Structure 1
Amino acid sequence: MFIKNSKFKKMILFTVLMLLIIVSGSAFADSQYISSVSADDSEIYISDTYNLTINLSNLPVGSTYKFLELKSTSIIEPTNGVYKKSISSNKVVFNLKQITDGSVIECDIVYNDGSSDKSVSETIVIPNVKKLSTSSSTSVTDTSKYEPEIKVVEENVPSFNVNKRNQIKFTLENIGTYSAKDINISLMYEGENTPLKKGNEVLTSQIAYLGKNKTKEIVIDLDLSKNSLAMLHQLKVKLSYKNAFGDSFKNDDYSYSFKVINTNTLPIIGIKKSEIRYTDVIAGVKNYIIFEIENTGTLNASDIMVELLGFDKDGIRLKDDVSKRYISSIKGKSTEKIYYAFIPASNAKSGNYELNAKFSYIDETGKKYESNSSVYIYVNGLDSKNIDLKISNKKFPKKINAGDEFSLNFDLENLSDIVANPVEIEAIYPDGIIPTSSPKIYLKTLEKDKKINIDFKFLAKNTLETGNYDFYIKFKYNTKGASESDYSEYKEYQGIFVQGASGMGRPKIIIKNFDFGSSKIMAGDTFNLKLDLFNTSTDEMIKNIKIKIESPDGIFTPVDSSSSVFVEKIDRNSTVEKLIKLKAKNDAEVKTYNLNIIMEYEDSKGNAYDSQKEPYKENEKITIPVSQPIKLEVGEINFPNEISIGRPLDLEINFFNMGKSTIYNLMAKIVDKDSNVLASNYFGNFDAGRTEYFEPTLQAQVAGDVKAKLLFTYEDASGEKGEFSKDINYYVAEETNNIDNGMNFDENIDMGNTQDKKSPIRSIVIAIVLIIIFIISLVIILKKRKKKKQMQLMLEEEDE
């Protein structure tokens, strides 16, 4: 019999299914271990929670149940996350949440048969689960609303060292009310300067299932690039997952931050050292240059291409070689050697020739780099610079007399491999010397190891004065075919002493030493300037010496004399001391001043001019520092009528700069007899004519006479330290109970007592005391104002 009505078919199938569920929910006739399964909810829908009771059949004697474990599934979820429970009295109860409308789940039952543990798997049908649609209705439930909520739990920012193995660790938490499955996690760097190693730009991980309110630690290996920037980096975290119904969801709201620790340095390739195989690089001769190539970074460099540039046909060029070299790798802080064969051009000139090494390479991450290094090779060319001329066997008198004939004789030898062509030799002589042979000699060639004798003859004039005279031998030479600009030349010096016909040289006077009695002169002071006048001549005395003193700034003026003084004579090679009394100007600024000393004199014959018609006159300059005296004045110090123990003593001290210069680094202190500082204040720079106040507060500790000192320390304009002090003496009485204003009120009086206020006698006494205090205060203030005005008048008079 066939049932053709499809609607009727569905109803029959549904009825059969429900019967199966009811039967299976009440008992498991075909199960050896589960006797029945029941739920405490008659209708179970998605998201409902309920208690599922599983009753177990009796085991044979000697066997005992241990535990029952529900297998993980997307259908249900234990509310407390516990899938495994111990079996007590052949019964297990789970509190579950329904995730889907499924009803069939699996479990494992473990028991002990008396000898060992056994495990069996069973199927459980949850009773009373309601399907989403049990009719032919066309309505469809939107399961996408059952969205899990997965977040990345915020943790402390970790630090990763690029030279170590690292792992990213963070926690995912499902904070929603629905479980998630098929969870995919990916982390990637967005932007430039990624710290991730090439080929590992995206980090991934997967989780099969994450129940509600559950967490899962994610661990992903992190492979960092060796040249990562040492800074804070951030990876974008992208999550994709499904709910129990297979609906897909995404979450890109999170990121993962970490710090990179990188002590590596990038590879830098350059030439550490260059070496020439044959020390002398000679034009036209093959040679080799060896380069020690260094990687100064800590990271390895690889695929290194070296290209040597700078070759020229008239300079240095490669010889049987190519300009490029390849080096597979150079480790960090390591070197490799390469070499090139080269030859200087046969016509190369002497000098330094530059070659440039160009490097291209990559680091461990494949990043490309370029660098350059220069080297210089000195070439001994076939030019005049390499001609080595040597003078030997030189014969020249050290001393002659005026009118003598003499000669300059020496051997000249070419010690180089290059022919000198031509060679010019010239004698350069002073005035008063006459050459009696040609002062120039011309040689067409001077070959290697060739030696010739050179002889110049001279005559010293009879009129020559005693003294030293300078001679030079000038050599100028070249190579064959070279241009005029290629000539080389040098000079050889030779001195000679000539004894003049008169036996005397030009006398000269100098100031050998001077002294003014101290390191500085105070403005307005009179002082003695001592001059030590020295006649440098070893042959002749000088006489009739007139010394004139000039002060360009008008700071120094002679005292009791004119600006000129007279010295009768100074013997040869002798010193005469002369004292000149001077006074410094009162208002001179603090600085160092010049003093010009002009000395006019005659030789022993009374001549005021020498043989060259030059006057016997010498000008010298000396310097004298001038300072202003420090004038620090202190006004009168007033003390209160009564000073007692435990009461503060407030002082007001006026002080004035009565001098004409600034006082520097001024500090005022009150010190006791043991030099203990009781009070202090720093005033810094104290300008001339200025007034300041020092207001210390002292505290009397012991009754009786107190001896203290007001101490000022300072520096003058030249940095010299000084101090000024003034004694401060006062008497401290025993401690009293009087109030601060001096009124002898009884401490037991209640100031708020209305009866005391009404006492007319007490009111009169208080009024009288207050009036007396006011009058005393007024008198003190007026005295201070008067004294301050007087001090200002004194300062104005000083300035005038």
Structure 2
Amino acid sequence: MKRRMLKRTLHFTLALIFVMTAMLSLLPADVAMATTVHDRSNFKFEADYYNYLSPGENFNFTLTVTNKYDQKITITSIFLNKGAAISVKEENGDPYTVFIGEIGIEPDGHKTVLSDHIMQFVGNKYNNTFSLTINYMFENGEIGNTSVEYRIDVKEDENFETDPYTPILQASVAENASVTAGQFSALNITLKNISGAATARNITFTPVYETGSPFIHVTVNGTSIKEIRPRAVDVIKLSVNTDKFVKPGYYPFKFKLTFTNAWGEDFTTEHIVYINVVNNKQDAKLIVRTSSADNVSAEAGKSFSVPVYVVNSGNYFAKDITITVKGLSQDTFMLSSGSSRITFDRINGGSNQKFTLNLLAAKGLKTASYPLSFKVEYTTESGEKVSEEQEIWIPVTGSGDAVNALEILNVGTSMSTVTPSDIFDVSVTIKNNGNTQTEQIKVSADGTDALLPVTQNLFIVSKLGPNESRTLNFRFQPSPDAKRGSVPIVIKVGSVDGSGNNAMISQAVSVFVDAEGGESDPNKNVPKIIVESYAYEPRQVKAGEQFTLHMSFQNTHSSKTIRNIKGSFNVEEKSNETGNVFTPVDSSNTFFIDEIRPKGTYDWTLNLYTIPDAQSKTYTVILSFAYEDEQGNPYTEQEIIGIPVYQPSRFEMSEFMLPSEAYMGDPIYLNFSIYNMGKTDLYNVKMYVEGDFAADPMSSYFGNFTPGYMEWCEINLIPMQIGVNKGKIVVEYETTSGELMTYEKEFAINVLEMPSFDPGFPVDGGFPMDPGMEDGGNGGFIGSVWFYVIIGVVVVGVVVTIILVVRKRRKNKEFEF
């Protein structure tokens, strides 16, 4: 009994283990927060993120980095690989920039560089990996980078491919896909049909032009794709023109795909891929500077001249240029002659203009370098108005100062224009002009708060012999919050203790910082309203009919609410006969929205009527918005959508005038008219005859029919068999949308056998004569009834032949297929 109970208990336990194992096997892997560790020789990366996701789902990503180097490193930026399965959910719209800044990590130390960073899974079960590239810098200025890859486990989408009749197209571009600003560039978009059963056919590409997009013109090279079978891939080849003034970077490229399945159902899908725009050119940028070749210097209390160069370091022209000298005073510099305001009409890219200032240095100036400020105003080729302040530095020898044995021979920079990510060198050459050795010389470089030293900014030269020179090198990088404009770098040289004849001397050089930092720009961080999506019902908008337009508007800002939104609907193109192409039904073309919260949407529906004479094409609709932010600041915005209109064709043919019966071999003349009774042109109109008849002509080509056009047609039919002969006139033509249409009209004629003559039928003299007339003729065929009948038939035949020949010559548009 005990053995039996023990055996049952063992069986129950094994069954329970089996059931639990089976249930656990049904659970998805990594259903909780996962920690992924990449342990390498120089780094250790620990990533915490929820990696079991559905397409489109947001998640938090935390990354901790351990530094295994024997020196401190500073992480400067983190980027996603292009084409990654995730994107960054940030306000700036860049889906690939994860982090830009500075995070220092000591040797054997670790820091969390990303903490609950919000990301979005934009891939699918076929694209579920992403890589992070971490850029870093050592204390000596050397830079490096490393990459680490992560994976997403994709939840099965219950709605995915439930309809086996729906093709699903996935669009992508190569990771290194790029276009060049200001010119047409080739771009290939790969389309993959990820449906398991449905074939996509007649795939048509339509670009979506949005306000602010750098892509200004897109054309398709070649024809539309005929079909993409399930799991198959094809490529759309494009030629893309980009705004020549756009800044380099990644931009969203939006487009629509229109296609059908094997059963003729229509589908339209929207897609976005991110394209790298390369711009090796830049808009006009004016820099005021002096040349070292001019050896500009001044002496306190004396007049001097300063040759000033206005250099356009950009690739495009600047116009309406005004340079105003600022800060002139009796304590520094004053004009000895000339004007403090200089103007130029235009300076082309890569060129410069020169002007000379005649100045007087104040008597009380000490030996040092003093700034001379300018207000620079101009308009770039792109239309941007620029107003900024720049300065140059003038070395001055003070009156009564002792002659210094030390001299700064040259100060130069490796780059004249820098960005916050650039590291540049400043070289300084000093010389001992004395007859004795100079010791303990201090050389420093000060770049103000706008420039951060990458290496030490103070050198001590232990000794410098007579007439000996020494060159020193400093390295700087602009501060992330540096203002845009010229920044001076002051070089100071003197004895460590300030003793002897080596009093402190200084000289300055400046660099232009091209940055977006500093004071906030009122034009930035502006809340924007866009058309997130739109659709119309029915799917084919026909001329002369009503349709419903559904639109969804979105506030793209992540924190600002927009209020008092007034919108209007307008079509630029009008009809010559009936005015606006689209007319609102039971409403106006304006609307009002109280508010849209950050990242919120508002749906708007409008019933429209399409005028009857609208042409078959896509009409551009402009949506204008006027709105306010939370502080009451007014803004305006415009969005553009396209609505394709279909104008039905209307081809007609007149009634046929035909006998009900005819004899075998006898010609039958068929006359009728054909008309274009629609409001759109018909192209490549051609006609041909089918059936039990020989026809002359068998086919004809008429060319194009404008609205209201009529053509008269004549066809000579010859029956080919006895009995009911059937035939039809077939007309083919193309509509304005390229659709091939066919019009057919049938007819039938009962054909009889040609009657035969009775041999005994009297031919000559067989008819009874009136009395007294028996001898009136000579008898025979000439003069008989049949003689005259035959003569009449011949005459009629000749007349008909002449008519046909004349008409044939007139129909010079006809040809035989």
Alignment TM-score, normalising by the size of structure 2: 0.32
Which has more radius of gyration?
1
| Structure whose residues are more often strand by fraction | 2
